[in-house]
């Protein structure tokens, strides 16, 4: 399997688009597309791409056949949307995180509680 095929495979496994991968890896989407379509063997961005695809550069380049080799059993399987939530949370200054957590807890609790108006 070549680099492009492995990138597509990981995108599919994670439910992530090329655009989302490019955004997360902070590289142009055209770079991702080029790696997939033109059969390039490497990229200076390979480490960031591998990290966002939850795999290793060795797997993407074909040096390894185990996409989970460096993640082990402790890896948390998050969807692309859940990972975005985590990234957004990390971007909030610590003081505001407490308020954001309180808000999300309130929403989650009210969503799971029976409605008094229904």
Domain assignment present for residue 40? The answer is yes
Q: Evaluate whether residue 99 is within a structural domain.
A: yes
12 lies in the same domain as 42: yes
What's the half-sphere exposure (Cβ side, CA atoms, 13 Å) at 98?
2
| Shared-domain flag, residues 84 and 57 | no
Task: Say whether both 52 and 90 belong to one domain.
Answer: no
Instruction: Using the predicted structure, report yes or no on whether residue 97 has a pLDDT greater than 60.
Output: yes
Higher pLDDT, 38 or 52: 52
Higher pLDDT, 97 or 86: 97
Is residue 52 located within the same domain as residue 86? no
CA distances for 115 relative to 3, 4, 62, 86, 118, angstroms: 51, 50, 54, 29, 5
Question: Number of structural domains, the chain?
Answer: 2
- Report the 10 Å Cβ neighbour count for 56: 20
91 and 55 share one domain: no
Mean pLDDT value across residues 36-64: 84
What domain range is 99 assigned to? 80-112
């Amino acid at each position: 399997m070549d680099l492009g095929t492995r990138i597509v495979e990981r995108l599919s496994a994670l439910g992530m688009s090329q655009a989302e991968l490019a955004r997360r890896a902070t590289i142009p989407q055209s770079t991702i597309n080029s790696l997939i379509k033109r059969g390039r063997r490497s990229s200076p961005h390979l480490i960031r791409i591998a990290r966002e695809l939850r795999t290793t550069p060795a797997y993407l380049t074909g040096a390894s056949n185990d996409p989970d080799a460096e993640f082990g059993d402790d890896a948390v399987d998050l969807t692309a949307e859940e990972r975005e939530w985590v990234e957004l949370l990390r971007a909030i200054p610590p003081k505001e995180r407490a308020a954001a957590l309180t808000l999300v807890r309130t929403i989650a609790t009210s969503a799971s509680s029976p409605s008094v108006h229904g």
